[in-house]
Structure 1
Amino acid sequence: MLMASSKVSYYVLLCFGIVAVSVSTFFAIGDDTVQPIRLVVNASEASARQIPDTLFGIFFEEINHAGAGGIWAELVSNRGFEAGGPNTPSNIYPWSIIGDESSISVSTDRSSCFDRNKVALRMEVLCDSRDNNVCPTGEVGIYNPGFWGMNIEEGKAYKVTLFVRSLGEIDVSVSLTDSRGLKKLATASIISSDVSNWSKMEVLLTATETNYNSRLQLTTSKKGVIWFDQVSAMPVETYKGHGFRNDLVQMMADLKPRFIRFPGGCFVEGEWLRNAFRWKETIGPWEQRPGHFGDVWMYWTDDGLGYFEFLQLAEDLGAAPVWVFNNGISHQDQVDTSNISPFVQEALDSIEFARGDPNSTWGSVRAAMGHPQPFDLKYVALGNEDCGKKNYRGNYVKIYNALKRAYPDIKIISNCDGSSVKLDHPADYYDFHIYTSANQMFSMAHKFDKTSRTGPKAFVSEYAVTGSDAGTGSLLAAIAEAGFLIGLEKNSDIVEMASYAPLFVNTNDRRWNPDAIVFNSSHLYGTPSYWMQQFFAASSGATLLDTTLDANSSSLIASSIVWKNADDNNYYLRIKIVNFGSNKVNLKISVYNLNGYSIRKSGSSQTVLTSANLMDENSLNNPKKVLPLKASLNTAAENMDVVILSHSITSFELLIESNTIRMPGSHHQFSTSAI
């Protein structure tokens, strides 16, 4: 991820003849001058090409509270009281006290039983249920509002886990309440006569009603001193049972990503190396993870969402993991190549953790976490946006050589852009980032037209329209990005991977605009750029057909693919057209030389993404203002007249009917269910 102040860097095939699309476009040149345009889709096997299986995926960075307070379903913020730093007493924010100075005293000390996170909370209760100093009604204690309010839903169960110690008996109420603590949504008691040693306690709370702005309370009316540490509250229902927030991850899954790049971005580098993401600190039991302060995006993460969880998420999504690790370079400091050996070993160990035999040193740690089978890690990136740094090439070559010796099949991604100039170091892929205006993004559709077809492949791991054209997620941005992606489809012989950035933003912590998915603790929506990506969800692994315009158009671009829908087992010809212009296009589609194939009227459809205003956005109050509209295409046939709206993305999904459909280069034949 580029810093806001940083630089702006720039075959299921149908074996039937020719699809010809003639276009009459009305541009405002004088008096309604007609400029006919002919669009030709050549469906012959000789001109078709299979798109890489990995072309479109997603990039997840811990930015905007995308993970902590986002896809990771943990409800408690600063669960281990470590966010205030290792020195005590420390700030316990966002924890707060219930009661006044006469009834309770709260501080932190370094008495935790966990070696890597020694800070614990010490709560001294000065009142009691009897004698002179009676506790106030409702007891005294501490509460945590989570990440700007906890979303608690009626009938749902929540597991609260905490570690507790006291020299005397304890009677602690664990409650989910409204934001002011006046109404309990669920409650249970922890009663014990002996917790002189740190003890793990668990309670299951089932909510009696829904409240989007709830909090967790630990209260008591029993005099004495209690220590708390590692307080967690997790919904029982998470995505595939692996701790992820269901609705947010489903939005990811709906894009059908073929890869997921993680965990950054600048989050990997850190402003300083001391605050960079260190994968070994994020594995093992969650309560033993020390957490860290991300000094680029300026917030604390408990690292419940760690390296293992990212690998698990990739597996759950059916996406190839793309692991980005630190190569000894941050924004402000860097390790000299002569001292890079420990970082080389870190990289090697990380791959062994993911891929190693369960009896290997790091593979056994993964197995102990519940995943004895290796993860399918094939791609690693060495750093993020570090190419211009003094030690990057030296560090890169050292790590590259070590990885290739140990894992010859691993695909290694360089930070340096090889689209215009040949790389001066070995790589399987080079990384390309582009954040720019809408006009420039649309023109970037041709960026890779003349790129060398030899050497490393391109990975466009971060792209987005930014600035005034984008707002917080505009239709204009989405249209321009769609044009860019059509260019990537056409150049997918050299561009093998692409992902939008950033993916998520919590409305309470916007560190970057725009983003694909916007959310708070209870609601979410996709920006137009999110919905734009769904037009390309079937492209990876599909067959690209040769699609050309026989006249120059600065505002129109199109591509065509043939793909198989796994849901209905049918094959479709998808024609995508992006109209970046302010005039509608009258389109006459003619399909020639089907050679025994046909387009079926029933089952074909048209989908359009547009809106009344170019700068229209979705919002939490109006999440469906800009959405793709899908309609049956009852006129689907070899010849049909359609209209392409101005400032729009249009997809024609034409159901193909035939006895057999063959993939180029394949000896297999596939029968459609339409036969």
Structure 2
Amino acid sequence: MNLKLISCSFVFVTAMAVQAQHVMDVQTKKVGAEVSPTMYGLFFEDINYAADGGLYAELVKNRSFEFPNPFTGWDISGKVTLKNDGPFEKNPHYVRMAPSGHSDKHTMIENHGFFGMGIKAGEEYRFSVWARVPDGGKSKLWIDLVDNATMRDDQKLGNTSVEVSGKEWKKYTAIIKPNRTFAKAHLRVWGDSKVTTDVEHVSLFPVKTFKGRENGMREDLAQALADVHPGVFRFPGGCIVEGTDLATRYQWKNTVGPVENRPLNENRWHYTFTNRYFPDYFQTYGLGFFEFFQLCEDIKAEPLPVLSVGLSCQFQNRRESDHVAMDALQPYIDDCLDLIEFANGPVDSKWGKLRADMGHPEPFNMKYIGIGNEQWDTPYFERLKPFVTAVRAKYPNIKIVGTSGPDSEGKMFEKGWEAMKAQKADLVDEHFYRPENFFLGTADGKKRYGNCGALRYDSYDRKGPKVFAGEYACHGAGKKWNHYETSLYEAAFMTGIERNADIVEMATYAPLFAHVEGWQWRPDMIWYDNMRMFKSVSYYVQQMYAMYKGTNVLKLTTKDPADAKGKKQIPVAGQDGMDGLFASSVFDKTTGEVIIKIVNTSKKAQAVCVNLLDMKGERTAETITLQHKGSMDDENTLDQPLKIRPVDGTVQCGVTGKKQQTVLNDVVPAMSFRLYRIKK
């Protein structure tokens, strides 16, 4: 996505509204630590109808009749019976549609979709079905897209038909082109009035999916992912990796191979929150590991799959018997090794051949693997060890991501880090959904420079594993939604991530997706209904960092206000005397640009003077500013998707002194995030 949405000139406010000028120095000559290409990325978990009903473009719910209630999502009429000896071993159910015996009684099945089906006029939709005529001969199925919610004379939005022949199961396809747009359409399949027909795996996809893939992603949502320019994509979760119990854990081998033969899995989020309860929330695995890897290629992100370590969710399972015994871990370890072979192995290997058979003979070149999600203490440390040993022995170049557990600080967090150092994990996955004071580096009104805020990573051990900030979001006190203020604080926090690129290798906001009618957790990065979507303010913060992450850190400092002699230099990270300013800087070798990010979290505009040391002459700085002049509680919505978004502008850089050193003078608006790009 091009962030140049609006051209504008910034007007300087009067001196009465501006705090005292803050002077910063950027060392432009000597570049610092490399910024990892994976630094800013995306984390996907199937929560809030993120997969089925969201990113995965399938419009039919319960397409193989495998839900515990086989007719969930369906209405039936006439002679419809359920059978369980179908052509797909892992999805054996199908329906038999027999003639009613009367000319005015019709046999029909009707699917509601996920909160309805979003249908656009003039677009093509690919209907497919596996069918047969059990008694032999031929039959015909009529397929309608309908609007049965309005008072029109004809409910049909579009229709087609397929002719079925023979006793053997075959796949049939047809195209429907609706005549008008409707967000809550249903799909009807009418049986033959004279011949019995068996029907299985009823599917409807838009032809126009992301990259045109038949079993593909919803185009607008996947494009929004690509527009972030993510460096890494972590999948498939999250807590669904663990499952509520071992039986419901995510098993990657069930998600590959023919889509018709991928078994249903219970989604642990459908019953977790009784205040927002969705008992029909399951995983069909249509969006499986092959599709995840393929999506990573399409959006140019490194894949980071996460697998079960043999522990079910520790929050919900406190007994040792709830987890896999140490002497029974081998199948889980094999799953880990087999996944690496699936992703990277040659076509003559077992799992590499399956990848090739699915249409991708070239390896996916996976470099990272996560083992365990948000788990902690001795049960995790003991189980992780044999995984590490096995992966190191067979695939020494794969980077292993362990976890420090669900806490962002404290005894158990520190214990997790010590264990990951002892086991020589390459990265440690940290999670923190925390309030504003955490992201600003304050607690109870006092500054904390250790385990929270933009100074969090300044004191981390540089000799141990790298950091993966795998799940984080600022949760406002009593305001847990995507409002502007918390997004700004996330931007402030991220200056500390950027400044510490030598220890932080990747970071991903979470959660990623939410359906406006099916959410259970918020805030979230991207919201949508059946037809539309909008990007939260947090999305734009992540995008500004990811698109302009640079290649190397540049040292940006200011004089310590507490140093009477004025010689000590400190980072600009909201400390006393900084008046709520946070800043970081990088250099991009590919574009030759110095990139400076300044976040003003105060309620007043701030005058800044940035000395670009070792740069000479006047220059024009390209700017991108995220600013909102309304309520700090405001957010983007489906009806106002661009209410708050970045705008472009320019600031002229002058010179100072005999050496004509380049200097940037600007006034950063109150409660804003401004990015500067200056050609070196």
* 1:380 aligns to 2:369 (yes or no): yes
Superposed displacement of residue 277, structure 1: 0.9
Once the two structures are superposed, the pairs formed by residues 476-487 of structure 1 within 5 Å of their partners are 476-487=485-496
2:582 corresponds to 1:557: yes
CA shift, 1:399, in A, is: 0.9
Match of 2:162 among 169, 190, 193: 190
Residues in 1 aligned to 2:38 and 2:65: alpha-carbon distance in whole angstroms:
41
1:574 has 2:595 as partner: yes
Is the 1:386–1:415 contact (alpha carbons within 8 Å) kept by the matching residues of 2? yes
Report the residue type matching 2:265 in the other structure. H
- 1:271 partnered with 2:248: no
Give 2:79's aligned residue: 105
Amino acid of the residue matched to residue 244 of structure 1? M
Q: Tell me the residue number matched to 2:418.
A: 422
Alpha-carbon distance in structure 1 between the residues aligned to 2:129 and 2:192: 19
> Does residue 646 of the first structure (1) align with residue 665 of the second (2)?
no
Tell me if structure 1 keeps the 8 A contact 2:550–2:587. Answer: no
Q: CA, structure 1 residues 547+115, in 2 after alignment: closer, same or farther (shift >3 Å)?
A: same
Cα pair distance change 1:26/1:411, threshold 3 Å: farther
Question: 2 CA distance for matches of 1:180 and 1:606?
Answer: 45
Letter of the 2:25 partner, please give it. Answer: V
Q: Equivalent residue of 2:584, what SS?
A: strand
Q: Is the 8 A contact 1:25 1:586 kept in 2?
A: no
Match of 2:115 in 1: 148
Shift of 1:26: 8.7
1:401 and 2:389 matched: yes
**Given the alignment of the two structures, is residue 202 of structure 1 paired with residue 173 of structure 2, yes or no?**
yes
Specify every segment of 5 or more residues in structure 1 that has no aligned partner in the other structure, as ranges.
Answer: 1-22, 85-89, 657-675
Q: 2:334 matched to 1:345?
A: yes
Q: Deviation of residue 616 (structure 1)?
A: 0.9
State the identity as a percent: 33
- 1:628/1:121 CA distance change after superposition, 3 Å: same
Specify the code of the residue in structure 2 equivalent to 1:291: L
Letter in 2 for 1:523: R
2:142 alignment partner, one of 166, 173, 188: 173
Q: 1:587 aligns with which of 608, 618, 626?
A: 608
1:362 corresponds to 2:362 = no
User: Does the 8 Å CA contact 1:64/1:297 hold for their aligned counterparts?
Assistant: no
* Alpha carbons 1:24, 1:36 under 8 Å: kept: no
- What amino acid sits opposite 2:554 in the alignment? L
Q: Is the 8 A contact 1:153 1:211 kept in 2?
A: yes
Which one-letter code corresponds to 1:170 in the other structure? S
Matches within 5 A, 1:286-365: 286-298=259-271, 299-331=281-313, 332=317, 333-365=322-354
Contact 2:79 2:107 in 1 (8 A): no
Aligned AA (2:132): R
Deviation sequence 1:193-233 (CA, Å, 0-9, x none): x4333232111222232222212110146045432111111
Paired residues, what number? 603
Contact 2:146 2:186 survives alignment (8 Å): yes
Cα gap change, 1:268 to 1:606, in 2 (>3 Å):
closer
Please state whether the residue corresponding to 2:228 is helix, strand or coil. Answer: coil
Q: Structure 2: how far apart are the matches of 1:259 and 1:487?
A: 19
Q: Is the 8 A contact 1:380 1:410 kept in 2?
A: yes
Alignment partners' CA distance in 2, 1:279 and 1:402? 19
Is the contact between residue 124 and residue 206 of structure 2 (CA under 8 Å) also seen in structure 1? yes
Does residue 591 of structure 2 align to residue 624 of structure 1? no
TM-score, normalization by structure 1: 0.85
Shift of 1:440: 1.3
**Aligned mates of 1:33, 1:73 — CA distance in 2:** 50
2:27 is aligned to 42
CA distance in 1, matches of 2:502, 2:148: 54
Which letter maps to 1:399?
Answer: F
Distance 1:187 1:73, change over 3 A: same
Tell me which moved more, 243-252 or 168-177: 168-177
Change in Cα spacing, 1:472 to 1:179, as seen in structure 2 (3 Å) is farther
Could you report, residue by residue, the CA deviation over 1:538-580 in whole angstroms, capped at 9, with x for unpaired residues?
3445221111132332611101122257xxxx43222111111
Superposed CA offset, 1:580-623 (max 9, x none): 1111112344545425xx5543x733423334211111111221
Q: Which runs of 4+ in 1 moved over 6 A?
A: 23-27, 417-420
Tell me the alpha carbon deviations over residues 361-394 of structure 1, each in whole angstroms, 9 at most, x when there is no partner. 1100110000001111110010101123x53122
Q: Give per-residue Cα distances to partners, 1:263-315, cap 9 Å, x unaligned.
A: 00001110011011111111011111112111244421111100111111111
Task: Determine if contact 1:174/1:217 at 8 Å carries over to the other structure.
Answer: yes
Alpha-carbon spacing, 1:644–1:228, altered in 2? closer, same or farther (3 Å): same
- Tell me by how many angstroms 1:489 deviates: 0.6
Calculate the aligned-residue CA RMSD, in Å.
2.4
Amino acid at match of 1:305: L
C-alpha deviations, 1:145-170, integer Å up to 9, x for none? 21112122222211111112333542
- Indicate whether 1:161 and 2:128 are aligned: yes
Q: Secondary structure at the match of 1:536?
A: helix
Unaligned runs of 5+ in 2: 1-11, 272-280, 406-412, 442-452, 562-576, 656-661
Rounded Cα–Cα distance in structure 1 between residues aligned with 2:469 and 2:609: 34
Q: 2:475 aligns with which of 466, 469, 483?
A: 466
Structure 1 residue aligned with 2:208? 237
Q: Give yes or no for the alignment of 1:69 onto 2:69.
A: no
Alignment partners' CA distance in 2, 1:590 and 1:411: 39
* Cα pair 1:54 1:540 within 8 Å, conserved: no
SS at match of 1:316: helix
After superposition, the C-alpha distances for 1:436-468 in whole angstroms (9 at most, x for unaligned) are 001211212111111110011111111101253
8 Å CA contact 1:464, 1:500 repeated in 2: yes
Task: Give the superposition deviation at 1:238.
Answer: 1.3
Instruction: Give TM-score, length-normalised by structure 2.
Output: 0.84
Measure the CA separation in 1 of the matches of 2:556 and 2:13.
Answer: 17
- 8 Å contact 1:430–1:456 — kept in the other structure? yes
The SS at the match of 2:521 is: coil
Match of 1:226 in 2: 197
Q: Secondary structure at the match of 1:57?
A: strand
Kindly provide the amino acid, as one letter, of the partner of residue 647 in structure 1.
Answer: M
Which range is displaced more, 608-617 or 474-483? 608-617
CA distance 1:165–1:128, change in 2 (3 Å): farther
> Does structure 2 retain, via aligned residues, the 8 Å contact 1:599–1:654?
no
Change (3 A) 1:34 1:479: closer
Give the superposition deviation at 1:50.
2.2
CA contact (8 A) 1:25 1:34 kept: no
Q: Is 1:496 aligned to residue 496 of structure 2?
A: no
Distance in 2 (CA, whole Å) between partners of 1:502 and 1:583 is 31
Aligned-partner SS, 1:459: strand
